Structure 1
Amino acid sequence: MSYDNTCKYLAETYPADFARWLLASETTDIEVLKTELTLEPIRADSVTFLQIANQILHLEFQTTPKSTPPLDFRMLDYYTRLKRQYWCEIKQVLIFLQPTSSEIVLKTQYVDTNTTHRYQTMRLWEEDPIPLLANPALLPLATLARTESPTDLLTQVAAAVDMIEETDERQNISACVQVLAGLRFEKNLITQLFSEEIMQESVIYQDILQKGLKQGEERGKKQEALELILRQLTRRFGAIEPETQQQIRTLSITQLEELAEALLDFTSPSDLVNYLANISPLPKVTGDR
């Protein structure tokens, strides 16, 4: 089950609630933007872009600090692409869902030789659960908030879910709660407080399930293409440099397919290096799973 897809669903279904929570904005004139940006396309399922008046709220949900390229660079990369495309004020919030000892979750900026880029970092396990409990759209996130008694907190969330009057919304929020609660609680406790049948009837549950299956299929196809190309290159030119291999691993399925055709014309390893330099000026972003 994809925790990222669950958060993405919540942010895109209830954008005004997330804007109110993170920006203290009461506007309802919000547009959910596509997640694919120009230049070398990047796309991550944990990313949500909300356009609010002349401002963009960029939300990035993460269950783990591990990322290629690193998360701080990704935030800079997204910022420059968003700025180029929409040319407006941008607020970025990197939300970590699961406690970790990694120092990455404490970082709020990317620093390079001539560049410093700042963004906001939120660690849900340190957040006050009260504002989250007060809003049905944020109830799933409340399961991961700060508490001295996690079981009592989950019980409060369950009670709040039961109070949602509209049936479809109650089912969908319940499904999201159960998915995210799985990051913190044992399955037995979750099933005691929530009906598994309600979850399975939820539209969002089915949507998340299908997206998860599709992503698995895509990862499988990419892995097969990657292994085939690396075998072909090794057979033609011998051992491939680790840096070159890493560049190839960052390519999308479409780029791998194009490389498979192009390598038929390569006569030396330098042809491969030059080809990669021309098609891959920026690494492809991959989110955690």
Structure 2
Amino acid sequence: MGIKTYQNYHVINLWELDVNLVFEHNLSSLLPFVPILKGGGNESIVRQAVIELRANETLTDLEPLLSFFAGFVLDIPLVQQIMRWDMTILRESPWYQQILKEGLETGEKQGLQQGLQQGLQQGLQQESRKLVWKLIDRRFGTLSSDFSLKINRLSITQLEELATELLDLTEINQLENWLQQNSESGNIPLS
């Protein structure tokens, strides 16, 4: 049919739009964005936006959005004072409940993952340490507390390296040299 349609649009950055246009031309749909408009980041302008939002029954649900943007340019206690919000009522709002629920879920997941990872790391280190102690005990018998301290400070990687070395070591001084080299090079952490 050869019919073509075009739609032209122009992106308007809200921070470039003068806040006075909202009030002069009664652009009520922009009231929640007043704090981030050019010249809208002061207390008296935000108070005026709150008054106009509350005057229009269809827009009163947008008050939390206004407070959200006001929080970027004003102190939170001042925003609470302007909005005259009781935190108990706010905590009962669906938005607050959803944000709280998502925060708790995210925190639980991250905490669980971190705990599992740390537990796995510690378990691997314990098992590596047990293997090294079995090899040492079999090869050299009971060692002094100085040796024990140095070996207990080894990382998993170092314990694995030592286990491999222990297959070739035949004398206690070779073990002592290996531990000395690794502790001198800073590879053995102090804690």
Q: TM-score, normalised on structure 2?
A: 0.44
Greater Rg by CA: 2
Which of the pair is proportionally richer in strand?
1
Which of the pair is proportionally richer in helix?
2
